[in-house]
Structure 1
């Protein structure tokens, strides 16, 4: 603390605040979570309480915790020897949790028994690669909302971040543990420069998100469009029909990974893909689907709606679908229920 370590100062404040209800930290406070993790570990994992130490509170009122991570280009981030911050899963009443989790070959819970966060309803995961999702999701028995922020950063958790993205493994880990409870799933994809690099890291992926079709309770789904459509050279066939579960009511395709030329799908091409899916029986395969939202290109003058986009919008309207341009959101909303005034967004 005398050296001005923000993590140590924060840990002291939390240790002195037994009745805290919400904890939300900006990225400036989450560069290092070592001391904060030690406080929660000592408080919630009895085996780590040293003899003669002052008993810490159990934070029974703490229901919301948000730790948004910060990955600086000029630093390397290795997986810590102990994931003390995972002690947050042992909070007795936690309902919403936003947490960065290091990728490692074996999950190291900070207590001899895995947690049972039965009150946890909403989880947002940062940093963790897709092949390591299983052990985390396996303890979340009542999870209703999952936001997975997939990140490729060669300066984080080596060597695990060097492996190609496996979409099948990602979808299988989610579906196998959350298929009966999860109603909302959001997956975002991002890459970041590593120390000494001038370009984004090479991005390779295999498989598909087809296992998501086994999620029987899912109603809202947001995905990066490259994960759904594939690359320009090797597009996925029947991509939406093959992965959308029958319970789905809303689908959003987000414009991400745009710095990679192989994913430069135009808005018109995406609308054309959706129109082709409709013609091939999407609404029969997903009978509860009410709306689809997809991104448009943005220019200095605002939303770009060119002739090709208008043509594809007309094609969709010819199929008795309601199509609207949402300029503030820079997107197109396609409603399969023309009489409905509901406009979903994630």
Structure 2
């Protein structure tokens, strides 16, 4: 559709303004953001119709360090006209890494990137934070003055009461303590703070950087913030978040969430022991994606290099009958010169009891371990009604040749083929619905 240019008042085409508002809404939804921007300049009635559409979706990306997305400019506008924040329904801040303009092919990793803020935007932001009455507002204001990105993103989100969808890319989530604290007070506290309740949020994706991050190592930042408050959102349907793994798992309130609306859940960082607590709170879950993750540089008594299959089995025993798809992957972050040496203990034998599961993606090592043992059978662990199976070689490269405590990855291709052959020779008896293996 051609761009809708501004026409003089005597143009008969302006008769469209006499159409019912419902018809105008349908027409305007077909236009582009440039058209909406032009309509906002025509007159007040057109502005009232086009402005909510213009601000409904905000999709920005950050690739060049010196050219951050216009978050600060938007905050300056919202400070002057707070009602504009209510129009934002969908916000997506993309970016995996940034580079300097002078060297765009190489990622900038000297420090966590800052977003310059000053003048009216800074003053308005400081005033807004003060009015929220949150107990950590001095820290939030201090971080805003220092141009820390998470302080600016938290300030942005705190002014979007009608948000439906939120996606934050890794470059915006290197530090998220302020964002997670803002969510906790906004969602889980009954009163006392001037923050939106995010009652309309249906989709949230907080993406963490899943590879080696020199900046976080240098600044000793552990990339597992606490986003458990998001389970308390009353309309949440799709949730993808990193969750801190620690010795004691604790929900942010005295009552447990009942995420009855949650259909799709993707978890990063959390270890198997706490997966049990999560699945207890998701009674209608249909799709579960989980990355087992061990960070050898931050290893402690809880985050060990041992995959506890028994705990995973217990967690999956709480899977609701609505669960039809499970995707499990595994990764380990370590010093490039030292492999941590991984091992498994226990068994996933009870996977076969998940009769509602039709699609399963899982590392082969979770089913048969690191050491080659041809007495182990895949069919013993397969959900009976499975239709699609994807086997991965996750963690097979992580072994410690300097220690006999942990076994090497011993499985030869011929032995893996033998596992499959043993199953598929009588697949119809074990998994009669099977349609494909990848």
1:282 corresponding residue in structure 2: 427
CA distance in 2, matches of 1:8, 1:245: 46
* Larger helix share, 1 or 2: 2
CA distance in 2, matches of 1:106, 1:87: 16
1:325 corresponding residue in structure 2: none
CA distance in 1, matches of 2:187, 2:374: 48
1:66 corresponding residue in structure 2: 205
Structure 1 pair 249–150 and aligned structure 2 pair: CA distance change class (3 A): same
Structure 1 pair 157–121 and aligned structure 2 pair: CA distance change class (3 A): farther
2:395 corresponding residue in structure 1: 257
TM-score, with structure 2 as normaliser: 0.60
Pairing of 1:211-226 with structure 2 (within 5 A): 211-226=350-365
Contact 1:166 1:205 in 2 (8 A): yes
For residues 132-170 of structure 1, the C-alpha deviation after alignment (integer angstroms, 9 at most, x for no partner) is: 211111111111110110011123463311252111211
1:329 corresponding residue in structure 2: none
1:241 maps to 2:376:
no
Helix, strand or coil at the partner of 2:383: coil
CA distance in 2, matches of 1:36, 1:117: 21
- In angstroms, what is the RMSD of aligned CA positions? 2.2
Moved over 6 A (4+): none
For residues 46-77 of structure 1, the C-alpha deviation after alignment (integer angstroms, 9 at most, x for no partner) is: 25x44xx42x2222221111112236352545
Structure 1: any 5+ residue segments left out of the alignment?
Answer: 294-346
* Larger strand share, 1 or 2: 1
CA distance in 1, matches of 2:200, 2:380: 43
Contact 1:11 1:35 in 2 (8 A): yes
TM-score, with structure 1 as normaliser: 0.75
Helix, strand or coil at the partner of 2:334: coil
Aligned residues: 282
Contact 1:105 1:132 in 2 (8 A): no
Structure 2: any 5+ residue segments left out of the alignment?
Answer: 1-143, 400-407
Helix, strand or coil at the partner of 2:296: coil
Contact 1:167 1:207 in 2 (8 A): yes
1:206 maps to 2:341:
no
Query: Quick one: which of 45, 62, 71 aligns to 2:188?
Result: 45
Higher gyration radius (CA): 2
Structure number with higher relative contact order (C-alpha < 8 Å, ≥ 6 residues apart):
1
Contact 2:325 2:360 in 1 (8 A): yes
Query: Quick one: which of 161, 172, 187 aligns to 2:328?
Result: 187
Contact 1:179 1:216 in 2 (8 A): no
